[in-house]
Amino acid sequence: MLSFFIEILIPVMVIISILFVLNTMMINASWKKVLAIAVIDIAILYIVNAMMSDAGFFGTGIGDYSARLLVFIAINIILATSLNLINGITGQFSIGHAGFMAVGAYASAYFTVTYGESIEASFAFMGETGSSSVVLLIAILIAAIVAAIAGLIVGIPSLRLKGDYLAIVTLGFAEIIRIVILNIDAVGGATGYTVPGYANFLWVGIFTIITIVIIHNIVKSDVGRALVSIREDELAAEAMGVNTTRYKVTAFVIGSAFAGVAGVLFAHYNRFLSTNDFQFIRSFEIIIMIVIGGMGSMTGAILGAVIVTLLPEVLRQLPDIQIGATTFRFADLRLVIFALILILTMILRPQGILGTREFGLSWLKRPRKATAGTETTGDSEGVPIAENAEAKRLQSEEDRDQ
């Protein structure tokens, strides 16, 4: 178990922490600072991606197990933050996110399998890496559009519903999508679908950062404030003139599009698709991520994605305990222990680890000095200096007039 922490868990957490700290600094920063942080992000992602290769980065490498964990953590962050926009920020209860992920995954996979080679040949002048990158970017665009259209089709009629009724509709849609795909032989049907491996950690990391930045900016915009007002009190939001149906559908479409992007990255990294990857349990896993981290918190969704991805792997390393003639293999009970941890978390911290709060580095900033003239001093305690000076000036004018 110690080797697992040294070889896998510590490197994974260090890389995630560095990227997280960098991107919290990007919030409300100037464009020069944003550009500098983006360059550093890409450099770090490039180095880590090189370390995942067989040659490594100057002889330093990351094992396949750690590499897959990092990639799946990044994909889960995309899924969690996009669902958080729907469930946490807007206050809806959708449990069909795996369906939109499946739409994006299979749509992009069909495109790359059917047209990928011909497009690569057309862009052969860009080299192997450049041509494959073009194919992947087109596939991501197609998947985002198709998943967004699917979200629009589901969102317009279903988002007039609330609570459990909305959950049932979205869950039913996800299962319908999975069963339809299961019966389409053009994308493998029940036997699965082999996909070209265009995606690597570099691309997954880039789109994870893009997802976080875009959704964060949406939440901090006027649209985000409208979504939060719907979550807090939909009736009051309507009374204030907010078109609640339009904003809910907008959030649903954006969240669905990013779920489609996650599906593309999953398909082209895993190189194989099966409808078993998109069962309803997958939707529940994504909901667990945002509930554990904190509904309505972006950093909570990221934290929840990391915990839910890593915790089963940590529990897999639990040692055996010999008591008399009986050997207790706790690793075999990892799913039971995982469920108990989730239950205890919900009992002791029902609002999630962060609740609706955001974790960042703003507490490190020095407090701004108060603007001159707002201090209170002198014989008129409690009155700002500027007001006191103005009062004295008026009094002196009155004295002169007299």
What does the alpha-carbon distance between residue 101 and residue 82 come to, in Å, rounded to a whole number?
Answer: 11
DSSP states of 112-167 as a string? HHHHHHHHHHHTGGGHHHHHHHHHHHHHHHHHHHHHHHHHHHHHHHHTTS-HHHHH
Q: Is 295 left (phi over 0), alpha (psi -120 to 50) or beta?
A: beta
Query: What is the pTM assigned to this prediction?
Result: 0.84
What does the alpha-carbon distance between residue 20 and residue 144 come to, in Å, rounded to a whole number?
Answer: 25
List pLDDT tens digits, range 382-396: 555 555 666 666 667
Domain that holds residue 357: 2-318+328-364
Least confident of 145-159, 176-190, 373-387: 373-387
Q: Give the CATH number for residue 306.
A: 1.10.3470
Same domain, 268 and 303: yes
Secondary structure of residue 376 in the 3-state scheme: strand
Same domain, 100 and 236: yes
Stronger pLDDT, 376 or 301, i.e. the higher one:
301
Q: For residue 241, give every residue at least 6 positions away whose Cβ sits within 8 Å of its Cβ, in sequence order, or none.
A: none
Q: Per-residue b/e over 346-381, b at no fewer than 16 CB within 10 Å?
A: eeeeeebbbeeebbbeeeeeeeeeeeeeeeeeeeee
Tokens read off for 294: 């904190």
pLDDT score of 5: 55
Same domain, 42 and 166: yes
In the Cβ-directed half-sphere of 189, how many Cα atoms lie within 13 Å?
A: 6
- Based on the structure, what is the number of domains in the chain? 2
pLDDT score of 391: 65
Residue 188 placed within a domain: yes
Q: How would residue 290 be classed by pLDDT, with cut points 50, 70 and 90?
A: very high
pLDDT at residue 80 tops 90 = yes
pLDDT at residue 145 tops 90 = yes
List pLDDT tens digits, range 262-275: 999 999 999 999 99
The share of the chain scoring above pLDDT 70, in percent, equals 81
Same domain, 186 and 70: yes
Same domain, 274 and 386: no
Same domain, 232 and 374: no
Same domain, 78 and 214: yes
List pLDDT tens digits, range 313-354: 888 877 777 777 777 777 788 888 888 888 888 888 888 888
